[in-house]
Amino acid sequence: MKFKIDENLPAECASLFREAGFEAATVADERLSGADDAAIFDRCRAEDRVLITLDLDFANVQTYPPGSHSGVVVLRSGSQDKPLLISVLKRLLPILTRRSPERQLWIVEPDRIRYRES
């Protein structure tokens, strides 16, 4: 499974995914920093990558309906504190080895994950 880590997440996130055995590229590494959501979404779809982001715009199922993309995972923590975000991702990684967010929208909160399929 391949992931694209949005620019609003700590740089270490990509390393966490790679260490867990996933392929991960960052928006910044691909010189997409500052690009609008549509450009990032199109790149993820073209590269067949699941987007990991804090951006709630990607949770809009009218604009980005599940099934129309490779997958979107929106992290929702009470704060955007780096240690908390890393903690949420570390809890998510083992789940990704058992279940795929491909063609789905996942909303990942510190205590639960909500799934939306097409």
Tell me the Cα Rg of the chain. Answer: 13
CA 14 to chain centre: 10
pLDDT grade, residue 30 (50/70/90)?
A: confident
Domain count, the chain: 1
Answer left, alpha or beta for residue 12, where phi above 0 means left and psi between -120 and 50 means alpha: alpha
Q: Is the pLDDT of residue 96 over 90?
A: yes
Q: Distance between CA 16 and CA 38 in Å, rounded?
A: 26
Quote the longest CA-to-CA distance of the chain: 34
Which sign does the torsion angle of CA 79, 98, 16, 6 carry? Answer: negative
Q: Distance between CA 113 and CA 101 in Å, rounded?
A: 11
Burial (CB < 10 A; 0-12, 13-18, 19+), residue 54, is middle
Q: What is the reported pLDDT for 45?
A: 94
Domain holding 112, by residue range, is 2-116
Average pLDDT over residues 28-49: 91
CATH code for position 69: 3.40.50
Q: Is the pLDDT of residue 118 over 90?
A: no
Q: Distance between CA 7 and CA 110 in Å, rounded?
A: 20
Q: What is the reported pLDDT for 60?
A: 95
By three-state DSSP, how is residue 13 classified?
helix
